[in-house]
Structure 1
Amino acid sequence: MVNEPELIPTRKIIWKDWLYNLGALFGLVLLSGVLAVLSPDFLTLNNLMNIARQSAINSLVSVGMLLPILTAGIDLSVGSVLALATTTMAILIIKLHVNPFIGVMVGLLLGAFLGFVNGILLTKLHLPHPFISTLGTMNIARGLALIITGASPVSGFPVSVQFLGAAFWGPMPVSFILVIAVYIIFHFFLTRTTTGRYIYAVGGNPEASRLSGVPVEKVLIIVYTLSGLMASLAGLVLVGRVNAAYPLAGLGYEMDAIAAVIIGGASFFGGVGTVWGTLVGALIMGVLRNGLNILGVSADLQTVAIGAVVIGAVYVDVLRQRAITKSRR
């Protein structure tokens, strides 16, 4: 009986965490219901598959972005990494006639390498915050993409390269099947591996993790490497959809990814967030954009709406942190 009062705050925290995580799913259902009422075309099979296809790119970028945010960091370079990886792939395959498989692998590895560089800048050069290192990488990668392409798109990929972004398995886009497979892998990585648990620990309290023997620098390097890899994989899907690589591709993708992660229940304070919550957040972004398009809302107003959603999600995160802090007192 003496210990019971100490358990009550913990139960409150768990209940609020469940409510917070399910809130994103409830929001997705509510948003879909509203759009279904406003437009009879919204719940058609073709439109739902279109949402899945449109959401695939942001979903892949977002699951990579989840990892830095879990460590209380951020990766602003994902859009530029996507652009440099895809334009490099295009130059190799289309201009230099390199084997498509080799070209794709080089593009994916380049994305991972740029993420690795972000991790090295943060851990070995001890830059004060990932905002600084990834902001620098963002500009470098974007500039290199413009240089190697002469600021022009490169088009004409072979069918094999377009497969992930263009093919369908029945009514389902292959790109969304890829998303589900990637999310399952990341779910097991974060919940069933030592490194995954370390990522949450580093986000919760990096100093305590370091004192407990957690290789914090190694964990951060892995986190940013995977973020870069996911950006380049998303770029491969984008290439399949449009059959071209653009040096300005990926502009604003980092904002959409951050929004999806936060809407899905992750916290900017680190240590909180799930893979499936992130997927729900990415789907909310996709449903919102699709619904606004169906309703004839201009692209400018869509940007305003997305910005408002991001602010709202971050504010909810702040309120949640205050509630947790109060419960623990």
Structure 2
Amino acid sequence: LFNKAGGFGASDIRVASSFGALAAIAFKSNRARQMLEESEKRYRFLFNGSGDAVFVHYITPEGKTSNFIEVNEVACQRLGYSRQELLNMSPCQIDDPAFTGLSAEVGRKLKEEGRVITEQRHLCRDGTFIPVELNIQQFELGGKLMVISVARDITERKKADAALKMERDKLLGILDAMEDGVYIVNADYEIEYVNPPLMSQFGAIEGKKCYDYFHHSNIPCEYCKNKEVLSGQTVRWEWHSPYNQRDYELMATPVKNPDGTTSKLTLFHDVTERSQMEQIILRYQAGLLAQAERIAHIGNWDYDLLGHSLLLSDETYNILGLSPANGIPNIKQIMEIFHTEDRDMVRVEAQKAMVS
């Protein structure tokens, strides 16, 4: 055509146009094929480059599960099968039979929500099981309902969980065996643990908050130590329970939980017998003091600066010629007992005593 004598006619132009169109189609087709190949390479790179096992299958119109139509290299290496062997298998052949009931529930949830995250155990060629976390999603492709499952090996996580549980069980065993009471409460006042000695005194938890369990209240206590303890402090105080009439020395300290939260662990040391003995000693000492006052004919008095109340010893009543049966006298009544010339001196000395 290039050297045709007389130039190009209409038919020649049509032929050339046809060739051009065919060339354009061929070029576009070749470019599309190149793009498809590049896309396939990227897909393969991502599919096989994942650190998790990936399985793809579809659901038949009858609702049956097909064999795998695609698996990645990690899936083959982890389970010990070749790619072709896995493509001849279905999901139920690698799932732990013990999870059959769970698999049915997963299928139902997947159908309703389109995505499920669950745990499963995969059966390897050698008969061992690998615990996995499955991220399962379904989607439509080419008129088929496809399912892609990404399986993450959680063997190390399970080992860590088991070790943590062992340590927690050991700790609870120690707390259970303690003579002192122990309880653990979280930031929401929810009781997480009560050991047997404390439960024997206050009863079953029954979902109660700590302020209900110990104080029969429906609101947190005014002197609650949660804020100080959960901020990292260790707090000690004494408490008398009006419900079992026992006295306790309490020590509360923060404990860290595996999820990063903080709870309060409180030790209850029953000091009721000690408190009772202290009261006996105080009464005995008071008796000795009263006897000494009678012998020496010396009295003593106490004045409550906050309550503005006066307390006199028995010998003071005797010295002043008063009787406890007539009630506690006030300052004015006592001052009237003294000689008028002595009242200023008594008032000054009393003021000195109260200031010191």
Classify the TM-score, shorter chain: under 0.3
Q: TM-score, normalised by structure 2?
A: 0.21
Tell which has more relative contact order, 1 or 2 (C-alpha 8 A, sep 6+).
Answer: 1
Which is richer in strand? 2
Q: TM-score, normalised by structure 1?
A: 0.23
Which is richer in helix? 1
Greater Rg by CA: 2
